A and B are shown apart, each in its own frame.
Chain A
Amino acid sequence: MKTFKIHRPKTVEQATGLLPSRRGPAEIDEARPMAGGQDLLTEMKSYLVQPESVVDLGAVAELEEYEVGASLRLGALTTLARIASDTEIGARWTALAEAAASVASPQIRTQATLGGNLCQRPRCWYFRHEDAVCIKKGGSECFAESGLSKYNAILGGGPSYIVHPSDCATALVCLDAEVTRSTKRGERTQPLEEFFTLPSEGSVMRENVLKADELLLKIEVPALPEGWKSTYLKFKERASYDFALCAVALSAKLEGGKIEDARLVLGAVAPIPWRARAAEEFLAGKQSTPEVWEKAGELAMEEAEPLADNAFKVPLAQGLIQKAFKSLTDGGAK
């Protein structure tokens, strides 16, 4: 990686002051914020970014919030290991605890932060290869679209076909979390679902609404209403240490064999955590049976447009949706 300066600000204000006010043509060289460094350092080692300076957020106390109360408030610096091992989060926001526990390896979870996990860049092998200058790096095409596309998007793709790599993002959108970020005009809070952007909506070079000098500050997750429980199922090609090939976050109110209501979000199938709204609408008020789970899977995949190598993600997502319901029904998850 290129030699860089490191700054260690104490406050959000100091930190954002060290970041560029807007992204310029030479954005590859501009200062970057770093929390756990688990993604930024790999990008720097691969020369995807070559910042002149790195703003280490480790000493910014405002990002350390951790409150498990009526709702769950997690500062950006909360480590994934802490979330994964908190038994109360495991009991009340199961999908989030399961998602955090599914990330990478124990070493990485100990260092990696929630904020970094939500803001990490895609894992597409073209994007990560220095010598493949794809559309997300200022090139003119998405190489996956006509190339080796096994790991890429089947929903919401174009002009880039990356999938969002964050496990926690999928779980948190399912749990109706809100995100707070710093802006020039003060803090702004919005549903996490609106934080992520499709390549056809926002800039194709980014995955969320954060501007160059903004920081993700915290996440707030409301308490699940009475009778609801949630689960996160991540399917990895390699059980030890891998990103999802497909993931399902499901929260539902199940009563007497009936699905009162459900929220279903898919991971690793689209450039953003993918709300399966048609399936959610269908599920409300249905009996919880394998036939209904199967139908929900079909509706969730209705708009899927696979590339050459990833049609398998359609039956995979459908299978995981069935397994997620089976898991909730059997009491395997809360």
Chain B
Amino acid sequence: MDDRSSGANAVQMKMPSTTTRPARPAIRRPATKPRGDQETDKGGRQGPLKPLEKLGAVSVPQPKTNVHTITIVGQIEGHMVLPSQNKTTKYEHILPQLVAIEESKEIEGLLVILNTVGGDVEAGLAIAEMVAGLTKPSVSLILGGGHSIGVPIAVSTDYSFIAPTATMTIHPIRLTGLLIGVPQTYEYLDKMQDRVIKFVVKQSKIREERFRELMFNTGGLARDIGTVLVGKDAVSEGLINAVGGIGEALARLHGLIKAWKMETGRPSGAKVSADPGQPDLPAVPAFQSPTGGWQQ
């Protein structure tokens, strides 16, 4: 309908210069019609049956979305399967999905939705690093809660949102299992903590000292040390970019996709990778240097 009406407008506008245009449809019609009529006449009632065949088709072509979403819910499950009362998000599900999103030609953006109580450090950091490494625009939205290891995942995207009522708990990592009372135990714990802190500081606007301060704050939690940040507190601390909901998050994501397409010169959909043929790979290191060490 749109085509026809716009075509009619175009004809009307061009009328003064091309006077033969309006007559064309009238000429074309008699040329095409008899052919069709002959075929249907030969086949008896084939003509009217043809549209009926099409009624059987069930698949209606749907408009494809260019934004995919990943939900991180409950406990983030690591190398051990947690007991069944836990609702979990498994990294073996999420990681391949992220690879597929990065590789897909149709998908242009990722929305990460979080409502998590934390979970395995390794699995959480693996997901966060994958999201941070995506070349496509990504936006996260925290609803309900994005606690503990949910914090690095929340800040791993290009832009992050938190619902006004959502909370983020920042607290120290705890060790479980057999603990040996030696200074090395503390050093190990500190190292694990640093992995999380370094990632969050790198990905957000919060300063390291401030993040540590929030983490070791006393009086903020009833049974633990740490801080609970509600909605806008997370934004004012520089951890999250803005307070918002699904509407804001998707609007921001579509904006990022637009900017990213302009930047990369990517047409809608297909990636314009002119097959690099690996020219940018670093040179293979020299086999062995005179000093016996490896040299770049």
- Determine if chain A interacts with chain B: no
Interface residues of A (CB under 8 A from B): none
